[in-house]
Amino acid sequence: MQQENQRRRVVVTGLGAVCSLGLDVNELWRRLLAGHSGTCLISRFDTNDLPSKVAAEIKNFNALDYLDRKEIRRIDLSHQYVLVAASQAFADSELMKKGFTPERAGAIIGHQSGGITSMLGQYDTYLSQGYRRLSPFLVAMMFTDMAPGLLSIKFNLKAANYAISSACASSANALCDAFRIIKSDEADIMVAGGTDAPIVPFAIAGFSAIRAISARNDQPEKASKPFDKDRDGFVLGEGSAVLILEELGHAQRRGARIYAEMIGYGMSADAYHISAPDPEGSGAALAMKAALQNAGIGPNEVDYINSHGTATLIGDPAETKAIKKVFGDYAYRIPINASKSALGHLLGAAGAIEAVITVLSIINNKIHPTINLETPDPECDLDYCANRLTEKEINIAISNSFGFGGHNAAIVFAKYQQ
Protein backbone atom coordinates (compact mmCIF):
# COMPACT_ATOMS: atom_id res chain seq x y z
CA MET A 1 0.00 0.00 0.00
CA GLN A 2 2.82 2.40 0.84
CA GLN A 3 4.43 1.89 -2.59
CA GLU A 4 1.04 2.40 -4.22
CA ASN A 5 0.61 5.70 -2.35
CA GLN A 6 4.05 6.83 -3.47
CA ARG A 7 2.86 6.51 -7.07
CA ARG A 8 -0.03 8.90 -6.46
CA ARG A 9 0.85 12.16 -8.14
CA VAL A 10 -0.48 15.57 -7.08
CA VAL A 11 -1.31 18.18 -9.70
CA VAL A 12 -2.64 21.74 -9.68
CA THR A 13 -5.97 22.10 -11.47
CA GLY A 14 -7.30 25.45 -10.23
CA LEU A 15 -5.97 28.86 -9.19
CA GLY A 16 -7.56 31.83 -7.46
CA ALA A 17 -6.16 35.04 -5.98
CA VAL A 18 -7.17 38.43 -4.61
CA CYS A 19 -4.45 40.94 -3.71
CA SER A 20 -3.24 44.50 -4.16
CA LEU A 21 -2.17 43.83 -7.75
CA GLY A 22 -5.50 42.44 -8.87
CA LEU A 23 -8.84 40.88 -8.03
CA ASP A 24 -8.10 37.74 -10.04
CA VAL A 25 -5.17 35.64 -11.22
CA ASN A 26 -5.02 37.09 -14.73
CA GLU A 27 -4.77 40.68 -13.52
CA LEU A 28 -2.21 39.71 -10.89
CA TRP A 29 -0.01 37.99 -13.47
CA ARG A 30 -0.29 40.76 -16.05
CA ARG A 31 0.72 43.43 -13.56
CA LEU A 32 3.56 41.36 -12.10
CA LEU A 33 5.09 40.91 -15.53
CA ALA A 34 4.70 44.64 -16.20
CA GLY A 35 6.64 45.47 -13.03
CA HIS A 36 3.79 47.28 -11.28
CA SER A 37 3.75 48.00 -7.56
CA GLY A 38 0.75 47.33 -5.36
CA THR A 39 2.01 49.40 -2.44
CA CYS A 40 0.72 52.87 -1.63
CA LEU A 41 0.01 55.27 1.21
CA ILE A 42 -2.60 53.78 3.52
CA SER A 43 -6.04 55.18 2.72
CA ARG A 44 -8.16 53.06 5.05
CA PHE A 45 -7.44 54.90 8.30
CA ASP A 46 -5.58 57.88 9.75
CA THR A 47 -1.82 57.20 9.95
CA ASN A 48 -0.71 60.48 11.52
CA ASP A 49 0.48 58.79 14.71
CA LEU A 50 2.15 55.85 12.95
CA PRO A 51 5.77 55.79 11.75
CA SER A 52 4.87 53.61 8.77
CA LYS A 53 2.15 54.92 6.47
CA VAL A 54 2.48 52.45 3.58
CA ALA A 55 0.80 49.14 2.83
CA ALA A 56 -0.31 46.97 -0.07
CA GLU A 57 -4.06 47.59 0.16
CA ILE A 58 -6.59 45.89 -2.08
CA LYS A 59 -8.37 48.54 -4.11
CA ASN A 60 -11.84 48.40 -5.67
CA PHE A 61 -12.85 45.25 -3.79
CA ASN A 62 -16.60 45.26 -3.25
CA ALA A 63 -17.73 42.16 -1.38
CA LEU A 64 -21.26 42.62 -2.74
CA ASP A 65 -19.90 41.75 -6.19
CA TYR A 66 -19.25 38.24 -4.91
CA LEU A 67 -21.24 37.59 -1.72
CA ASP A 68 -24.70 38.46 -0.45
CA ARG A 69 -25.20 41.15 2.15
CA LYS A 70 -26.31 38.73 4.87
CA GLU A 71 -23.19 36.60 4.42
CA ILE A 72 -20.90 39.62 4.50
CA ARG A 73 -22.26 40.76 7.88
CA ARG A 74 -21.36 37.40 9.43
CA ILE A 75 -17.74 37.03 8.35
CA ASP A 76 -14.43 38.83 8.64
CA LEU A 77 -12.74 40.61 5.74
CA SER A 78 -10.14 37.85 5.56
CA HIS A 79 -12.96 35.31 5.15
CA GLN A 80 -14.43 37.37 2.33
CA TYR A 81 -11.09 37.28 0.54
CA VAL A 82 -10.70 33.50 0.84
CA LEU A 83 -14.27 32.81 -0.28
CA VAL A 84 -13.64 34.88 -3.40
CA ALA A 85 -10.24 33.29 -4.15
CA ALA A 86 -11.63 29.79 -3.59
CA SER A 87 -14.64 30.50 -5.81
CA GLN A 88 -12.23 31.57 -8.56
CA ALA A 89 -10.16 28.40 -8.10
CA PHE A 90 -13.26 26.18 -8.22
CA ALA A 91 -14.52 27.89 -11.35
CA ASP A 92 -11.07 27.59 -12.92
CA SER A 93 -10.87 23.88 -12.11
CA GLU A 94 -14.42 23.17 -13.37
CA LEU A 95 -14.80 20.75 -10.47
CA MET A 96 -18.46 21.57 -10.01
CA LYS A 97 -19.37 20.66 -13.60
CA LYS A 98 -18.90 16.92 -13.24
CA GLY A 99 -19.10 16.79 -9.46
CA PHE A 100 -16.86 15.03 -6.97
CA THR A 101 -17.14 12.83 -3.90
CA PRO A 102 -17.38 15.19 -0.89
CA GLU A 103 -15.83 12.63 1.46
CA ARG A 104 -12.72 12.66 -0.74
CA ALA A 105 -12.31 16.44 -0.81
CA GLY A 106 -11.05 18.73 1.95
CA ALA A 107 -9.70 22.19 2.75
CA ILE A 108 -6.64 23.50 4.57
CA ILE A 109 -6.09 27.26 4.86
CA GLY A 110 -3.16 29.14 6.33
CA HIS A 111 -4.22 32.14 8.39
CA GLN A 112 -1.95 34.15 10.65
CA SER A 113 -3.95 37.11 11.96
CA GLY A 114 -7.37 35.50 12.31
CA GLY A 115 -10.29 37.89 12.08
CA ILE A 116 -8.28 40.83 13.40
CA THR A 117 -10.34 43.44 11.51
CA SER A 118 -13.61 42.26 13.07
CA MET A 119 -12.08 41.58 16.45
CA LEU A 120 -10.67 45.09 16.87
CA GLY A 121 -13.82 46.73 15.53
CA GLN A 122 -15.99 44.73 17.90
CA TYR A 123 -13.65 45.47 20.81
CA ASP A 124 -14.19 49.19 20.21
CA THR A 125 -17.94 48.54 20.21
CA TYR A 126 -17.64 46.63 23.48
CA LEU A 127 -15.72 49.47 25.16
CA SER A 128 -18.06 52.19 23.96
CA GLN A 129 -21.45 50.44 24.01
CA GLY A 130 -21.13 47.27 26.08
CA TYR A 131 -21.42 43.59 25.28
CA ARG A 132 -25.09 43.73 24.25
CA ARG A 133 -24.08 45.58 21.09
CA LEU A 134 -21.62 42.89 20.00
CA SER A 135 -22.32 40.84 16.90
CA PRO A 136 -23.52 37.30 17.65
CA PHE A 137 -21.04 36.22 14.97
CA LEU A 138 -18.01 37.76 16.71
CA VAL A 139 -16.51 34.46 17.83
CA ALA A 140 -16.84 32.98 14.35
CA MET A 141 -15.34 36.15 12.87
CA MET A 142 -12.31 35.95 15.19
CA PHE A 143 -11.42 32.30 14.88
CA THR A 144 -8.63 31.32 12.50
CA ASP A 145 -10.28 27.98 11.72
CA MET A 146 -13.35 29.63 10.23
CA ALA A 147 -11.69 30.18 6.83
CA PRO A 148 -11.52 26.47 5.89
CA GLY A 149 -14.78 25.91 7.74
CA LEU A 150 -16.58 28.34 5.45
CA LEU A 151 -15.05 26.68 2.39
CA SER A 152 -16.17 23.29 3.63
CA ILE A 153 -19.75 24.54 3.99
CA LYS A 154 -19.82 26.42 0.67
CA PHE A 155 -18.30 23.68 -1.48
CA ASN A 156 -19.38 20.56 0.48
CA LEU A 157 -15.87 19.42 1.42
CA LYS A 158 -16.05 16.59 3.96
CA ALA A 159 -12.47 15.29 4.16
CA ALA A 160 -9.70 16.94 6.23
CA ASN A 161 -10.66 20.48 7.17
CA TYR A 162 -8.50 22.73 9.34
CA ALA A 163 -6.44 25.91 9.56
CA ILE A 164 -2.69 26.30 9.99
CA SER A 165 -1.03 29.23 11.73
CA SER A 166 2.75 29.27 11.37
CA ALA A 167 3.23 32.98 10.70
CA CYS A 168 4.49 33.74 7.20
CA ALA A 169 4.83 30.03 6.38
CA SER A 170 1.17 29.29 7.17
CA SER A 171 -0.22 28.78 3.69
CA ALA A 172 2.93 27.04 2.46
CA ASN A 173 2.45 24.58 5.32
CA ALA A 174 -1.19 24.23 4.25
CA LEU A 175 -0.04 23.19 0.78
CA CYS A 176 2.48 20.74 2.26
CA ASP A 177 -0.21 19.08 4.37
CA ALA A 178 -2.65 18.98 1.47
CA PHE A 179 0.00 17.32 -0.71
CA ARG A 180 0.69 14.70 1.95
CA ILE A 181 -3.01 13.93 2.44
CA ILE A 182 -3.50 13.27 -1.26
CA LYS A 183 -0.30 11.21 -1.49
CA SER A 184 -1.44 9.05 1.43
CA ASP A 185 -4.80 8.38 -0.28
CA GLU A 186 -6.87 10.16 2.39
CA ALA A 187 -8.37 12.45 -0.26
CA ASP A 188 -8.37 13.04 -4.01
CA ILE A 189 -8.97 16.81 -3.89
CA MET A 190 -7.63 19.39 -1.46
CA VAL A 191 -8.47 23.08 -1.51
CA ALA A 192 -5.34 24.68 -0.07
CA GLY A 193 -4.14 28.23 0.36
CA GLY A 194 -4.15 31.15 2.73
CA THR A 195 -5.78 34.41 3.66
CA ASP A 196 -5.06 37.48 5.77
CA ALA A 197 -6.44 40.99 6.21
CA PRO A 198 -4.01 42.54 8.72
CA ILE A 199 -3.93 46.16 7.52
CA VAL A 200 -5.22 47.77 10.72
CA PRO A 201 -3.58 50.48 12.87
CA PHE A 202 -2.82 48.03 15.69
CA ALA A 203 -0.85 45.70 13.40
CA ILE A 204 1.03 48.57 11.72
CA ALA A 205 1.95 49.87 15.18
CA GLY A 206 3.05 46.43 16.38
CA PHE A 207 5.29 45.72 13.41
CA SER A 208 6.66 49.27 13.62
CA ALA A 209 7.57 48.69 17.26
CA ILE A 210 9.94 45.90 16.26
CA ARG A 211 11.15 47.82 13.20
CA ALA A 212 10.02 45.06 10.86
CA ILE A 213 8.13 47.17 8.30
CA SER A 214 9.18 49.90 5.92
CA ALA A 215 8.72 53.57 6.76
CA ARG A 216 9.59 54.80 3.26
CA ASN A 217 6.55 57.06 3.28
CA ASP A 218 7.90 59.51 0.70
CA GLN A 219 8.09 56.77 -1.97
CA PRO A 220 5.35 54.29 -1.07
CA GLU A 221 5.44 52.46 -4.42
CA LYS A 222 9.14 51.75 -3.79
CA ALA A 223 8.84 50.87 -0.11
CA SER A 224 9.30 47.13 -0.59
CA LYS A 225 12.93 46.61 -1.65
CA PRO A 226 13.95 42.94 -1.24
CA PHE A 227 17.70 42.30 -1.47
CA ASP A 228 18.41 46.03 -1.93
CA LYS A 229 21.11 47.63 0.20
CA ASP A 230 18.68 50.39 1.26
CA ARG A 231 15.80 48.10 2.30
CA ASP A 232 14.17 49.00 5.62
CA GLY A 233 11.61 46.25 6.18
CA PHE A 234 8.62 44.62 4.55
CA VAL A 235 5.37 46.23 3.47
CA LEU A 236 2.22 44.78 5.01
CA GLY A 237 -0.15 43.36 2.43
CA GLU A 238 -3.50 41.60 2.39
CA GLY A 239 -5.49 39.13 0.34
CA SER A 240 -5.94 35.47 -0.38
CA ALA A 241 -4.77 32.76 -2.76
CA VAL A 242 -6.16 29.26 -3.21
CA LEU A 243 -4.95 26.28 -5.25
CA ILE A 244 -6.91 23.16 -6.12
CA LEU A 245 -4.60 20.19 -5.61
CA GLU A 246 -5.82 16.96 -7.13
CA GLU A 247 -4.67 13.37 -7.52
CA LEU A 248 -3.52 12.93 -11.12
CA GLY A 249 -5.76 9.98 -11.99
CA HIS A 250 -8.81 11.78 -10.61
CA ALA A 251 -7.95 14.88 -12.65
CA GLN A 252 -7.41 12.85 -15.83
CA ARG A 253 -10.67 10.94 -15.50
CA ARG A 254 -12.66 14.16 -15.45
CA GLY A 255 -10.63 15.76 -18.23
CA ALA A 256 -9.21 18.52 -16.06
CA ARG A 257 -6.75 21.11 -17.28
CA ILE A 258 -3.49 20.53 -15.42
CA TYR A 259 -1.33 23.57 -14.66
CA ALA A 260 1.64 21.91 -12.99
CA GLU A 261 2.63 19.14 -10.63
CA MET A 262 3.62 19.50 -6.99
CA ILE A 263 6.42 17.00 -6.56
CA GLY A 264 7.78 17.64 -3.07
CA TYR A 265 8.15 19.82 -0.03
CA GLY A 266 10.42 20.36 2.95
CA MET A 267 9.84 21.84 6.39
CA SER A 268 12.19 22.79 9.22
CA ALA A 269 12.65 25.02 12.26
CA ASP A 270 15.35 27.58 12.95
CA ALA A 271 15.21 26.92 16.71
CA TYR A 272 16.80 30.34 17.03
CA HIS A 273 14.59 33.37 17.88
CA ILE A 274 10.94 34.41 18.17
CA SER A 275 11.12 36.85 15.25
CA ALA A 276 14.61 37.04 13.74
CA PRO A 277 15.71 34.30 11.33
CA ASP A 278 18.90 32.37 11.86
CA PRO A 279 21.36 34.82 10.23
CA GLU A 280 23.30 31.93 8.69
CA GLY A 281 20.18 30.57 7.00
CA SER A 282 20.67 27.09 8.42
CA GLY A 283 16.97 26.37 8.99
CA ALA A 284 15.96 27.68 5.57
CA ALA A 285 18.68 25.53 3.99
CA LEU A 286 17.34 22.46 5.81
CA ALA A 287 13.88 23.07 4.39
CA MET A 288 15.16 23.40 0.81
CA LYS A 289 17.36 20.30 1.15
CA ALA A 290 14.42 18.34 2.51
CA ALA A 291 12.25 19.54 -0.38
CA LEU A 292 14.77 18.39 -2.97
CA GLN A 293 15.08 15.02 -1.27
CA ASN A 294 11.31 14.63 -0.98
CA ALA A 295 10.94 15.48 -4.68
CA GLY A 296 13.72 13.10 -5.65
CA ILE A 297 15.72 15.70 -7.56
CA GLY A 298 19.19 17.20 -7.39
CA PRO A 299 20.04 20.88 -6.79
CA ASN A 300 21.14 21.42 -10.40
CA GLU A 301 17.69 20.46 -11.69
CA VAL A 302 16.06 23.59 -10.22
CA ASP A 303 15.42 26.26 -12.85
CA TYR A 304 13.95 29.05 -10.70
CA ILE A 305 13.37 30.07 -7.08
CA ASN A 306 10.55 32.28 -5.87
CA SER A 307 12.17 33.62 -2.73
CA HIS A 308 10.64 34.55 0.60
CA GLY A 309 12.38 37.89 -0.01
CA THR A 310 10.78 40.13 2.59
CA ALA A 311 13.18 43.11 2.44
CA THR A 312 14.13 42.78 6.10
CA LEU A 313 17.71 43.59 7.09
CA ILE A 314 18.50 40.11 8.42
CA GLY A 315 16.10 37.98 6.40
CA ASP A 316 17.36 38.68 2.88
CA PRO A 317 21.06 37.91 3.56
CA ALA A 318 20.02 34.82 5.55
CA GLU A 319 17.98 33.48 2.62
CA THR A 320 20.85 34.24 0.25
CA LYS A 321 23.23 32.24 2.47
CA ALA A 322 20.71 29.41 2.67
CA ILE A 323 20.44 29.19 -1.12
CA LYS A 324 24.23 29.08 -1.40
CA LYS A 325 24.42 26.31 1.23
CA VAL A 326 22.01 24.18 -0.79
CA PHE A 327 23.04 24.96 -4.36
CA GLY A 328 26.72 25.85 -4.07
CA ASP A 329 28.18 27.56 -7.14
CA TYR A 330 25.03 26.68 -9.09
CA ALA A 331 23.19 29.25 -6.92
CA TYR A 332 24.67 32.01 -9.08
CA ARG A 333 23.01 30.51 -12.19
CA ILE A 334 19.47 30.25 -10.78
CA PRO A 335 17.13 33.17 -11.45
CA ILE A 336 15.49 34.24 -8.19
CA ASN A 337 12.75 36.79 -7.69
CA ALA A 338 10.82 38.34 -4.81
CA SER A 339 7.08 38.71 -5.34
CA LYS A 340 6.81 40.78 -2.14
CA SER A 341 8.55 43.63 -3.94
CA ALA A 342 5.26 44.15 -5.80
CA LEU A 343 2.62 42.58 -3.55
CA GLY A 344 3.83 43.41 -0.10
CA HIS A 345 3.79 40.68 2.53
CA LEU A 346 0.46 38.84 2.80
CA LEU A 347 1.53 37.07 6.02
CA GLY A 348 -0.64 33.94 6.26
CA ALA A 349 -1.46 34.11 2.53
CA ALA A 350 2.10 34.82 1.35
CA GLY A 351 3.13 31.21 0.68
CA ALA A 352 -0.05 30.46 -1.26
CA ILE A 353 0.05 33.50 -3.52
CA GLU A 354 3.74 32.89 -4.20
CA ALA A 355 2.88 29.26 -5.04
CA VAL A 356 0.31 30.54 -7.54
CA ILE A 357 2.97 32.81 -9.03
CA THR A 358 5.49 29.95 -9.19
CA VAL A 359 2.97 27.79 -11.06
CA LEU A 360 2.24 30.63 -13.49
CA SER A 361 5.97 31.06 -14.06
CA ILE A 362 6.31 27.38 -14.95
CA ILE A 363 3.36 27.47 -17.34
CA ASN A 364 4.50 30.64 -19.11
CA ASN A 365 8.28 30.20 -18.83
CA LYS A 366 8.46 33.74 -17.50
CA ILE A 367 9.90 35.12 -14.26
CA HIS A 368 8.52 38.45 -13.17
CA PRO A 369 10.96 41.19 -12.14
CA THR A 370 11.97 41.94 -8.58
CA ILE A 371 11.08 45.61 -8.63
CA ASN A 372 12.72 48.37 -6.58
CA LEU A 373 16.09 46.59 -6.47
CA GLU A 374 18.24 49.58 -7.35
CA THR A 375 21.31 49.40 -5.09
CA PRO A 376 22.81 45.89 -4.88
CA ASP A 377 23.72 44.65 -1.41
CA PRO A 378 27.17 42.96 -1.38
CA GLU A 379 25.72 40.35 0.99
CA CYS A 380 22.96 39.55 -1.50
CA ASP A 381 24.93 38.76 -4.65
CA LEU A 382 22.75 36.25 -6.54
CA ASP A 383 20.62 36.85 -9.62
CA TYR A 384 17.39 38.39 -8.27
CA CYS A 385 15.99 39.40 -11.68
CA ALA A 386 16.31 43.03 -10.67
CA ASN A 387 13.79 45.15 -12.58
CA ARG A 388 13.78 42.79 -15.57
CA LEU A 389 11.40 40.22 -16.95
CA THR A 390 13.23 36.93 -17.53
CA GLU A 391 12.10 34.40 -20.13
CA LYS A 392 13.44 30.90 -19.56
CA GLU A 393 12.31 27.29 -19.87
CA ILE A 394 11.21 26.36 -16.36
CA ASN A 395 10.77 22.67 -15.64
CA ILE A 396 11.28 22.70 -11.88
CA ALA A 397 10.89 25.59 -9.41
CA ILE A 398 10.99 26.11 -5.66
CA SER A 399 8.82 28.48 -3.63
CA ASN A 400 10.25 29.48 -0.23
CA SER A 401 8.31 30.61 2.86
CA PHE A 402 9.91 31.43 6.22
CA GLY A 403 7.98 32.71 9.22
CA PHE A 404 8.41 34.45 12.57
CA GLY A 405 9.24 31.79 15.16
CA GLY A 406 11.58 30.02 12.76
CA HIS A 407 8.98 28.18 10.65
CA ASN A 408 10.41 27.19 7.27
CA ALA A 409 8.75 25.58 4.25
CA ALA A 410 9.91 25.00 0.70
CA ILE A 411 7.67 23.62 -2.06
CA VAL A 412 8.78 22.08 -5.35
CA PHE A 413 6.60 22.42 -8.45
CA ALA A 414 7.33 20.90 -11.85
CA LYS A 415 6.05 21.25 -15.38
CA TYR A 416 3.43 18.56 -15.86
CA GLN A 417 4.50 15.67 -18.02
CA GLN A 418 2.34 12.64 -18.75
pLDDT at 98: 83
Would you name the residues annotated as active-site residues?
A: 168, 308, 345
For residue 154, with 0-12 CB atoms within 10 Å meaning exposed, 13-18 middle and 19 or more buried, which class applies? middle
**Domains assigned to the chain:** 2-253 (3.40.47.10), 264-414 (3.40.47.10)
Cβ neighbors of 292 (< 8 A, separation 6 or more) are 264, 266, 298, 299, 302, 326, 412
User: What's residue 2's pLDDT?
Assistant: 46
Rounded Cα distance between 338 and 198, Å, is: 21
What is the spatial distance between Cα 152 and Cα 195, in angstroms, rounded to a whole number? 15
pTM of the model: 0.97
All residues at 6 or more sequence positions from 129 whose CB lies less than 8 Å from its CB, including other chains: none
Residue type, 305: I
Please determine, for residue 249, whether its predicted confidence score (pLDDT) is greater than 60: yes
Q: What pLDDT does residue 5 have?
A: 57
Count the alpha carbons within 13 Å of 22 in the hemisphere toward its beta carbon: 19
Q: What is the mean pLDDT of the chain?
A: 96
pLDDT in the model for residue 6: 62
Residue 402: C-alpha distances to residues 332, 365, 366, 405 (Å): 21, 25, 24, 9
Q: Any idea what DSSP says for residue 36?
A: -
> At 34, is the pLDDT very low, low, confident or very high (cuts 50, 70, 90)?
very high
